[in-house]
Amino acid sequence: MPPLLEVRNAAKHFALGQGLFSRGTVVRAVDGVDLEIGPEEAVGLVGESGCGKTTLGRLIVRLERPTGGAILYRGRDVWERNGRPERELRTAIQMVFQDPYGSLNPRKRLRDILRVPMLVNGLADRRSVDAQVAALLQEVRLPPALADRYPAQLSGGQQQRVAVARAISVRPSLLVADEPLSALDVSVQAQVLQLLQRIRNERRLSLLFISHDLAVVRHLCDRVLVMYLGRIVEQAPTAELFARPRHPYTAALLSAVPTTRPRRRPRLVLSGEVASAAQIPSGCRFHTRCWKAQPRCRELEPPLRWVGSSIAACHYPVEDGDAQTSPATGRA
Protein backbone atom coordinates (compact mmCIF):
# COMPACT_ATOMS: atom_id res chain seq x y z
CA MET A 1 0.00 0.00 0.00
CA PRO A 2 1.21 3.57 -0.60
CA PRO A 3 2.57 5.27 2.52
CA LEU A 4 0.27 7.39 4.63
CA LEU A 5 3.07 9.86 5.37
CA GLU A 6 6.28 10.58 3.47
CA VAL A 7 9.10 12.82 4.66
CA ARG A 8 11.50 13.68 1.85
CA ASN A 9 14.87 15.24 2.64
CA ALA A 10 13.27 17.35 5.39
CA ALA A 11 15.43 19.95 7.11
CA LYS A 12 14.93 22.45 9.92
CA HIS A 13 17.74 24.88 10.71
CA PHE A 14 17.65 27.45 13.50
CA ALA A 15 19.78 30.59 13.41
CA LEU A 16 21.24 31.46 16.80
CA GLY A 17 21.09 34.97 18.24
CA GLN A 18 23.23 37.88 17.26
CA GLY A 19 25.58 37.61 20.23
CA LEU A 20 29.32 38.09 19.91
CA PHE A 21 30.10 34.37 19.85
CA SER A 22 26.96 33.04 18.16
CA ARG A 23 26.59 35.43 15.23
CA GLY A 24 25.98 33.53 12.01
CA THR A 25 25.76 30.14 13.75
CA VAL A 26 23.10 27.75 12.48
CA VAL A 27 21.80 24.74 14.42
CA ARG A 28 20.90 21.97 11.96
CA ALA A 29 18.32 20.25 14.17
CA VAL A 30 16.88 18.19 11.30
CA ASP A 31 19.24 17.89 8.37
CA GLY A 32 17.98 15.76 5.51
CA VAL A 33 15.55 13.14 6.85
CA ASP A 34 13.63 10.62 4.77
CA LEU A 35 11.00 8.36 6.29
CA GLU A 36 7.72 6.70 5.49
CA ILE A 37 4.84 5.58 7.69
CA GLY A 38 2.30 3.17 6.29
CA PRO A 39 -1.40 2.87 7.12
CA GLU A 40 -1.92 1.41 10.62
CA GLU A 41 1.85 1.14 11.14
CA ALA A 42 3.58 2.01 14.42
CA VAL A 43 7.05 3.49 13.92
CA GLY A 44 9.44 4.24 16.77
CA LEU A 45 11.91 7.13 16.60
CA VAL A 46 14.78 6.90 19.07
CA GLY A 47 18.03 8.74 19.80
CA GLU A 48 19.78 10.89 22.37
CA SER A 49 18.43 14.21 23.62
CA GLY A 50 19.15 16.95 21.10
CA CYS A 51 19.29 14.66 18.05
CA GLY A 52 16.22 16.30 16.44
CA LYS A 53 13.43 13.83 17.26
CA THR A 54 10.99 16.36 18.69
CA THR A 55 11.73 18.90 15.95
CA LEU A 56 10.95 16.27 13.32
CA GLY A 57 7.66 15.50 15.06
CA ARG A 58 6.76 19.19 15.13
CA LEU A 59 7.51 19.48 11.42
CA ILE A 60 5.14 16.61 10.68
CA VAL A 61 2.25 18.19 12.62
CA ARG A 62 2.99 21.64 11.11
CA LEU A 63 4.07 23.34 14.32
CA GLU A 64 7.35 24.20 12.58
CA ARG A 65 7.85 25.11 8.92
CA PRO A 66 10.66 23.12 7.30
CA THR A 67 13.75 24.88 6.02
CA GLY A 68 13.88 22.45 3.13
CA GLY A 69 12.42 19.22 1.80
CA ALA A 70 8.80 18.11 1.75
CA ILE A 71 6.32 16.38 4.05
CA LEU A 72 3.52 14.58 2.23
CA TYR A 73 0.29 13.17 3.63
CA ARG A 74 -1.35 10.75 1.20
CA GLY A 75 0.86 12.26 -1.50
CA ARG A 76 -0.11 15.88 -0.77
CA ASP A 77 2.21 18.47 0.72
CA VAL A 78 1.03 19.30 4.25
CA TRP A 79 1.82 22.98 3.71
CA GLU A 80 -0.51 23.54 0.76
CA ARG A 81 -3.23 26.05 1.56
CA ASN A 82 -6.36 25.87 -0.53
CA GLY A 83 -9.37 25.52 1.70
CA ARG A 84 -10.84 22.09 2.32
CA PRO A 85 -7.64 20.02 1.89
CA GLU A 86 -6.01 22.17 4.57
CA ARG A 87 -8.80 21.33 7.04
CA GLU A 88 -8.37 17.64 6.28
CA LEU A 89 -4.63 17.88 6.90
CA ARG A 90 -5.18 19.80 10.11
CA THR A 91 -7.29 17.03 11.59
CA ALA A 92 -5.55 14.03 9.99
CA ILE A 93 -2.29 14.38 11.96
CA GLN A 94 -2.43 14.99 15.70
CA MET A 95 0.20 15.14 18.45
CA VAL A 96 0.41 14.04 22.08
CA PHE A 97 3.02 16.13 23.86
CA GLN A 98 5.56 15.20 26.50
CA ASP A 99 4.20 17.48 29.25
CA PRO A 100 0.47 16.83 29.65
CA TYR A 101 -0.17 19.79 31.96
CA GLY A 102 1.75 22.20 29.74
CA SER A 103 -0.25 21.12 26.69
CA LEU A 104 -3.67 21.70 28.30
CA ASN A 105 -5.18 25.14 28.84
CA PRO A 106 -5.27 25.55 32.65
CA ARG A 107 -8.19 28.00 32.42
CA LYS A 108 -10.48 25.66 30.49
CA ARG A 109 -12.59 22.85 31.88
CA LEU A 110 -12.08 19.43 30.33
CA ARG A 111 -15.46 19.74 28.64
CA ASP A 112 -14.30 22.80 26.69
CA ILE A 113 -10.86 21.35 25.96
CA LEU A 114 -12.50 18.39 24.23
CA ARG A 115 -15.53 20.00 22.65
CA VAL A 116 -13.87 22.96 20.88
CA PRO A 117 -11.79 20.89 18.38
CA MET A 118 -14.88 18.95 17.33
CA LEU A 119 -17.02 22.08 16.94
CA VAL A 120 -14.37 24.05 15.06
CA ASN A 121 -13.78 21.22 12.59
CA GLY A 122 -17.45 20.46 12.05
CA LEU A 123 -17.30 16.99 13.63
CA ALA A 124 -20.11 17.68 16.12
CA ASP A 125 -22.95 20.14 16.69
CA ARG A 126 -23.84 21.82 19.97
CA ARG A 127 -26.68 19.39 20.66
CA SER A 128 -24.52 16.26 20.42
CA VAL A 129 -21.08 17.48 21.44
CA ASP A 130 -21.52 16.87 25.18
CA ALA A 131 -22.43 13.25 24.53
CA GLN A 132 -19.33 12.89 22.38
CA VAL A 133 -17.19 14.43 25.15
CA ALA A 134 -18.54 11.84 27.58
CA ALA A 135 -17.81 9.06 25.09
CA LEU A 136 -14.22 10.30 24.63
CA LEU A 137 -13.62 10.33 28.38
CA GLN A 138 -14.95 6.80 28.66
CA GLU A 139 -12.73 5.69 25.76
CA VAL A 140 -9.61 6.84 27.64
CA ARG A 141 -10.94 5.24 30.84
CA LEU A 142 -11.93 8.43 32.67
CA PRO A 143 -15.35 8.97 34.29
CA PRO A 144 -17.51 11.50 32.38
CA ALA A 145 -18.09 13.33 35.69
CA LEU A 146 -14.56 14.77 35.33
CA ALA A 147 -15.71 16.91 32.39
CA ASP A 148 -16.37 19.90 34.67
CA ARG A 149 -12.90 19.84 36.26
CA TYR A 150 -9.80 21.86 35.37
CA PRO A 151 -6.49 20.19 34.38
CA ALA A 152 -4.87 21.15 37.70
CA GLN A 153 -7.47 19.03 39.52
CA LEU A 154 -6.23 15.87 37.77
CA SER A 155 -3.20 13.65 38.27
CA GLY A 156 -0.45 13.53 35.64
CA GLY A 157 -1.76 10.26 34.25
CA GLN A 158 -5.30 11.63 33.99
CA GLN A 159 -4.00 14.77 32.26
CA GLN A 160 -2.20 12.66 29.66
CA ARG A 161 -5.37 10.65 29.08
CA VAL A 162 -7.21 13.92 28.42
CA ALA A 163 -4.45 14.91 25.98
CA VAL A 164 -4.92 11.61 24.15
CA ALA A 165 -8.70 12.13 24.11
CA ARG A 166 -8.24 15.61 22.61
CA ALA A 167 -5.91 14.24 19.92
CA ILE A 168 -8.36 11.53 18.82
CA SER A 169 -11.42 13.80 19.08
CA VAL A 170 -10.91 14.98 15.48
CA ARG A 171 -10.57 11.41 14.14
CA PRO A 172 -6.94 11.52 12.92
CA SER A 173 -5.22 8.92 10.79
CA LEU A 174 -1.75 9.53 12.26
CA LEU A 175 -0.84 10.15 15.88
CA VAL A 176 2.56 11.62 16.76
CA ALA A 177 3.41 10.83 20.39
CA ASP A 178 6.41 12.79 21.66
CA GLU A 179 7.77 11.13 24.82
CA PRO A 180 4.20 10.70 26.16
CA LEU A 181 5.34 8.61 29.15
CA SER A 182 8.45 10.43 30.36
CA ALA A 183 6.63 12.95 32.59
CA LEU A 184 4.58 10.25 34.34
CA ASP A 185 5.23 8.07 37.37
CA VAL A 186 6.48 4.59 36.54
CA SER A 187 3.29 3.09 37.98
CA VAL A 188 1.20 5.12 35.51
CA GLN A 189 3.37 4.67 32.42
CA ALA A 190 2.19 1.11 31.75
CA GLN A 191 -1.46 2.21 31.92
CA VAL A 192 -0.97 5.03 29.40
CA LEU A 193 1.06 2.72 27.15
CA GLN A 194 -1.76 0.16 27.16
CA LEU A 195 -4.21 2.98 26.41
CA LEU A 196 -2.21 4.10 23.36
CA GLN A 197 -1.92 0.56 22.10
CA ARG A 198 -5.66 -0.13 22.53
CA ILE A 199 -6.75 3.11 20.86
CA ARG A 200 -4.34 2.55 17.99
CA ASN A 201 -5.80 -0.92 17.38
CA GLU A 202 -9.44 0.07 17.82
CA ARG A 203 -9.21 3.19 15.66
CA ARG A 204 -6.70 1.65 13.22
CA LEU A 205 -4.32 4.57 13.60
CA SER A 206 -0.79 4.98 12.36
CA LEU A 207 1.64 6.00 15.09
CA LEU A 208 4.97 7.79 15.25
CA PHE A 209 6.25 7.10 18.75
CA ILE A 210 9.18 9.29 19.84
CA SER A 211 10.95 7.94 22.90
CA HIS A 212 14.16 7.32 24.82
CA ASP A 213 12.78 4.10 26.26
CA LEU A 214 13.87 1.30 23.97
CA ALA A 215 11.92 -1.31 25.96
CA VAL A 216 8.67 0.55 25.27
CA VAL A 217 9.53 1.00 21.60
CA ARG A 218 10.26 -2.70 21.30
CA HIS A 219 6.86 -3.53 22.79
CA LEU A 220 4.80 -1.03 20.81
CA CYS A 221 6.35 -0.47 17.39
CA ASP A 222 6.53 -2.44 14.14
CA ARG A 223 9.61 -0.62 12.87
CA VAL A 224 12.31 1.54 14.49
CA LEU A 225 14.26 4.52 13.19
CA VAL A 226 17.45 5.64 14.95
CA MET A 227 18.36 9.32 14.74
CA TYR A 228 21.72 10.97 15.38
CA LEU A 229 22.63 14.64 14.90
CA GLY A 230 19.66 15.45 12.69
CA ARG A 231 19.71 12.39 10.44
CA ILE A 232 18.38 8.84 10.39
CA VAL A 233 21.35 6.48 10.74
CA GLU A 234 19.47 3.17 10.84
CA GLN A 235 16.00 1.80 10.29
CA ALA A 236 14.78 -1.77 10.49
CA PRO A 237 11.87 -3.94 11.62
CA THR A 238 11.82 -3.95 15.40
CA ALA A 239 12.82 -7.58 15.89
CA GLU A 240 15.68 -7.28 13.40
CA LEU A 241 17.05 -4.08 14.91
CA PHE A 242 17.10 -5.45 18.46
CA ALA A 243 18.59 -8.77 17.36
CA ARG A 244 21.19 -7.46 14.89
CA PRO A 245 21.92 -3.71 15.09
CA ARG A 246 24.00 -2.65 12.10
CA HIS A 247 25.02 0.91 12.93
CA PRO A 248 27.60 1.31 15.75
CA TYR A 249 25.44 3.99 17.37
CA THR A 250 22.44 1.64 17.48
CA ALA A 251 24.62 -1.05 19.02
CA ALA A 252 25.73 1.43 21.68
CA LEU A 253 22.15 2.41 22.50
CA LEU A 254 21.06 -1.21 22.86
CA SER A 255 24.06 -2.15 25.00
CA ALA A 256 23.08 0.59 27.48
CA VAL A 257 19.58 -0.80 28.08
CA PRO A 258 19.31 -2.10 31.67
CA THR A 259 18.55 -5.80 31.94
CA THR A 260 18.18 -8.44 34.62
CA ARG A 261 19.31 -11.19 32.26
CA PRO A 262 22.86 -12.11 31.23
CA ARG A 263 23.92 -9.96 28.29
CA ARG A 264 24.32 -11.67 24.95
CA ARG A 265 26.71 -8.93 23.86
CA PRO A 266 29.45 -7.15 25.82
CA ARG A 267 28.62 -3.70 27.19
CA LEU A 268 29.78 -0.96 24.83
CA VAL A 269 31.31 2.22 26.29
CA LEU A 270 31.51 5.15 23.87
CA SER A 271 34.38 7.58 24.02
CA GLY A 272 35.36 10.70 22.15
CA GLU A 273 33.73 14.06 21.69
CA VAL A 274 29.95 14.49 21.56
CA ALA A 275 29.38 16.63 18.48
CA SER A 276 27.01 19.61 18.34
CA ALA A 277 24.25 20.26 15.81
CA ALA A 278 25.79 23.72 15.40
CA GLN A 279 29.19 22.22 14.48
CA ILE A 280 28.53 18.95 12.70
CA PRO A 281 31.72 17.00 11.97
CA SER A 282 32.85 16.29 8.43
CA GLY A 283 32.29 12.83 7.06
CA CYS A 284 30.27 10.46 9.22
CA ARG A 285 28.59 12.37 12.03
CA PHE A 286 29.29 9.58 14.50
CA HIS A 287 32.99 9.09 13.75
CA THR A 288 34.10 11.18 16.76
CA ARG A 289 32.63 8.52 19.07
CA CYS A 290 32.81 5.37 16.96
CA TRP A 291 35.13 2.47 17.79
CA LYS A 292 35.04 1.30 14.15
CA ALA A 293 36.02 4.68 12.63
CA GLN A 294 38.59 4.67 9.79
CA PRO A 295 40.12 7.57 7.80
CA ARG A 296 37.35 7.19 5.22
CA CYS A 297 34.73 7.91 7.92
CA ARG A 298 36.28 11.32 8.62
CA GLU A 299 36.17 12.34 4.98
CA LEU A 300 33.01 10.87 3.42
CA GLU A 301 29.50 10.87 4.86
CA PRO A 302 27.95 7.42 4.33
CA PRO A 303 24.57 7.11 2.60
CA LEU A 304 21.79 4.92 3.88
CA ARG A 305 22.13 1.47 2.32
CA TRP A 306 20.81 -2.02 2.84
CA VAL A 307 22.74 -4.17 5.29
CA GLY A 308 20.90 -7.45 5.61
CA SER A 309 17.32 -6.62 6.58
CA SER A 310 18.29 -3.17 7.89
CA ILE A 311 19.10 0.16 6.29
CA ALA A 312 22.14 1.81 7.87
CA ALA A 313 24.34 4.82 7.14
CA CYS A 314 27.74 3.29 7.89
CA HIS A 315 30.88 2.51 5.86
CA TYR A 316 31.76 -0.35 8.24
CA PRO A 317 28.48 -1.70 9.66
CA VAL A 318 28.41 -3.95 12.70
CA GLU A 319 28.62 -7.60 11.75
CA ASP A 320 27.57 -10.62 13.78
CA GLY A 321 30.44 -11.53 16.08
CA ASP A 322 32.02 -8.05 16.21
CA ALA A 323 33.81 -7.53 19.51
CA GLN A 324 32.32 -4.03 19.89
CA THR A 325 35.23 -2.81 21.98
CA SER A 326 35.95 0.86 22.57
CA PRO A 327 39.57 1.56 21.52
CA ALA A 328 39.92 4.54 23.85
CA THR A 329 39.01 2.65 27.02
CA GLY A 330 39.84 -0.90 26.05
CA ARG A 331 36.48 -1.89 27.50
CA ALA A 332 33.43 -3.41 25.88
Structural domain count of the chain: 2
- At residue 325, the pLDDT reads 45
Domain that holds residue 176: 5-221
Cα dihedral 287, 230, 251, 4 in deg (nearest 10): -150
CB-facing half-sphere around the CA of 231: CA atoms within 13 A: 21
Give the three-class secondary structure for 37: strand
Tell me the H-state helices in the chain. 53-60, 84-92, 100-103, 110-120, 129-139, 156-168, 186-203, 214-220, 238-243, 248-255, 295-299
Asked whether residue 249 is assigned to any structural domain, the reply reads yes
157 and 261 belong to one structural domain: no
150 and 250 belong to one structural domain: no
213 and 260 belong to one structural domain: no
- At residue 186, the pLDDT reads 85
- The vertex-110 CA angle with 109 and 114, nearest 5°, equals 125
Asked whether residue 159 is assigned to any structural domain, the reply reads yes
Single-letter code of the amino acid located at 20? L
Asked whether residue 100 is assigned to any structural domain, the reply reads yes
281 and 135 belong to one structural domain: no
With 0-12 / 13-18 / 19 or more C-beta atoms within 10 angstroms meaning exposed / middle / buried, residue 57 is buried
- At residue 262, the pLDDT reads 66
Q: In the listed set 171, 206, 221, which residue is the last one of a domain according to the structure?
A: 221
* 218: CB partners within 8 A, 6+ apart: 224, 238, 242
pTM of the model: 0.91
Q: What is the CATH number of the domain that holds 147?
A: 3.40.50.300
175 and 304 belong to one structural domain: no
For the chain, list residues with pLDDT below 50: 323-332
Asked whether residue 15 is assigned to any structural domain, the reply reads yes
Asked whether residue 140 is assigned to any structural domain, the reply reads yes
- At residue 326, the pLDDT reads 41
Q: Which residues of 217-245 are buried (b: 16+ CB within 10 A; e: fewer)?
A: bbebbebbbbbbbbbbbbbbebeebbebb
73 and 41 belong to one structural domain: yes
